[in-house]
Structure 1
Amino acid sequence: MDDFAGTQAPIRRLTDPAEAIAALELAVPGMSSVRLPVPAVIDWPVLEAELGIALPADYKLLCELYPPFVVGGFLSVGTPEPGGESGWVEGTRDELETVGEWCEEADLAVALHPFPAPGGLLPWAVSPQGDFFLWSTHPTDPREWTVTVASRSSVWWHYTGGMVQFMAEFAAGVLEPWALPRVRPDVVAW
């Protein structure tokens, strides 16, 4: 039996990508030390066309400013590399197969489905223990996407802010980690 722990909400949702990045840099002071010297030029139109959906602006800005990284030795965020957009989409599709299996196995009051189902879950990070951090997609506006956490211990929960704000609040200890460990506010680039 899977558990749904509930939904957590930010006091104020950060909709400006730069403001969300600033919150993450405040929560994880080492972020600025791993920032790329020159923003990455990712071909978002190609990536999004292959994926079949536009991605949130906070994620795009994060990917342009930072290489792939791990927060607190736990939250691993992969980012597409310039020229590697198709490979990133392929890796995401592979992860979607696992997400689909988890959704089928989950015994939740409200069924969840992987992307490309309407409102489907799309992975954006993992943990070394196999936890998934997912977007709950919105079909017409990526600014409306929220976060769903699927823990390896079968506890699922939602966060009604964006993914960069989620990372900031998770690292700062603002969120109840429900079935996840508390993380240190440090970062290591891959």
Structure 2
Amino acid sequence: MDDLIGTQTPRRRLHAPVDAVEELERAVPELVGHRRSVPVGIDWAVVEADLGIGLPDDYRLLCEFFPAFVLGDFLILGGPRPGTEAAWVQGTREELEMVAEWCGDADLAVPLQPYPAAGGLLPWATSNEGDIFLWKTGPADPREWTCTVASRNGGWWHYAGGAVQFLADLVSGVLEPWGLPSVRPEVSWVSTQAPLP
């Protein structure tokens, strides 16, 4: 039995980070009210040196302009905050241990592995029901990375686009949720923590 459900491809992949964030804001209009007027100033050099890899520009832009938030009382997205970059990387490493277990348990024709393996999976979001949303890293520019969904029920599937466009397409209903519930286009929680100086 193969746990891989399949791959969904966006009609048009959004390569410009600003386009992807604007698409998410169209899909979730109330998100605009949480947008910061200036970037928060995350030290991405620290994050990426500690992690050992650069991260996609769309995700970096989203983290710079929005606090941690939950979409539709389901999908939890939050990145590092200024002053907590090393702790965020440590948390990501701990999540990678769980990803390694899930990859080992999956019955896939083409086995998946966690980062730092070549093309390994790197988590970028979770759900409150235990699903994990990951990038499939690669030798290509991080702007070309695709997404993988590891469902708590054992199903795996891919999305041939970036993380922020994935969120917009999932919430807007462009994507089939494949083992996930429908995600309402609302922000059900936003971090009230102020960025650290």
TM range (shorter): over 0.9
Counterpart for residue 23 of structure 1 = 23
TM-fit CA distance, 1:140: 3.8
Counterpart for residue 132 of structure 1 = 132
Number of residue-to-residue matches in the alignment: 190
**Any residues of structure 2 matched to 1:62-141 within 5 Å, and which?**
62-141=62-141
Counterpart for residue 11 of structure 2 = 11
Counterpart for residue 174 of structure 1 = 174
Which one-letter code corresponds to 2:71 in the other structure? V
Which one-letter code corresponds to 2:143 in the other structure? R
Q: Does the 8 A contact of 2:96 with 2:122 survive in 1? A: yes
TM-fit CA distance, 1:138: 1.5
TM-score by length of 2: 0.94
Aligned equivalents of 1:45, 1:164: Cα separation in 2: 21
TM-aligned CA distance change 1:80 to 1:42, over 3 Å: same
Counterpart for residue 159 of structure 1 = 159
Structure 1: state its 5+ residue gaps.
Answer: none
Structure 2: state its 5+ residue gaps.
Answer: 192-197
- Cα distance per residue 1:68-122 (max 9 Å; x no partner): 1111111101210001100000000000000000000001111000000010000
Which one-letter code corresponds to 1:189 in the other structure? V
TM-fit CA distance, 1:162: 0.2
Overall identity of the aligned pairs, in %: 62
Aligned equivalents of 2:190, 2:37: Cα separation in 1: 13
TM-score by length of 1: 0.98
TM-fit CA distance, 1:38: 3.1
> Higher mean Cα deviation, 13-22 or 29-38?
29-38
Specify the SS of the correspondent of 1:148: strand
Specify the SS of the correspondent of 1:30: helix
Structure 1 position 145 matched with structure 2 position 128: no
Aligned equivalents of 2:92, 2:120: Cα separation in 1: 13
Aligned equivalents of 1:153, 1:133: Cα separation in 2: 14
Aligned equivalents of 1:139, 1:116: Cα separation in 2: 12
Counterpart for residue 195 of structure 2 = none
Moved over 3 A (4+): none
Counterpart for residue 42 of structure 1 = 42
Q: Does the 8 A contact of 2:123 with 2:132 survive in 1? A: yes
